[in-house]
Amino acid sequence: MPPEDEIRDPRAFRWVESGVSGLARAREWDSTAIAEAPSLRASEATEVDFRVLGDGSVVGDVSAETLRELTGELGLDPPYAVRAVRQSELEWMVGGLRIESAVIELGGGLEALSLEVAVPPDGETMYLVDGDILTEAPTGALATAFAELERRGTDRFQAFVARADRVEDGRWELTVDPL
């Protein structure tokens, strides 16, 4: 039976008041700002999402002018992801989140939009093309691309998922996450 003082102490973990834990909520954004975007005045959009890659290229449908307007006050160096939500005709709330990605060359001729290789701790490698699991070993340009993804993944982690999303023909955005 616990000592009587421990039961009476309201700071004891099991006696924490409802709704008050003292733990801060995980941070959703690395930077936020309020931006004016005259270039979007005529747009019907209520939200805009895009990514700025390490080489400065943009993934998403935004003009150079809109990019400057929305990201000017964020103060983030690429790569980062952005979500902007309209508040009024000109005013937008903008959030920026740093991302771990790199732009790589995988060569041309690949028809896929995304490639993934998963190497779990048990060592049974899995290949995915546009979200579909390959049931046979990849061949040709696809095998070369997967070998490069696997090489880059093993440089960082023992067990990992490496994902490449097409930016344009031959150029891909690579992310590698541990398992």
107-130 burial, b at 16+ Cβ within 10 Å, e below that, comes to: eeebebeebbbbbeeeeeeebbbe
- Report pTM: 0.69
Strands (E), 3-122: 31-36, 47-52, 58-59, 80-86, 91-98, 102-105, 114-119
- Please tell me the predicted confidence (pLDDT) of residue 48: 94
* Model pLDDT for residues 85-112, shown as the tens digit of each residue: 999 999 999 999 998 888 899 877 788 8
- The residue written with tokens 């880059």 in the block is 152
- β-pairing verdict for 132-133 and 126-129: antiparallel
Tell me how long the chain is. Answer: 179
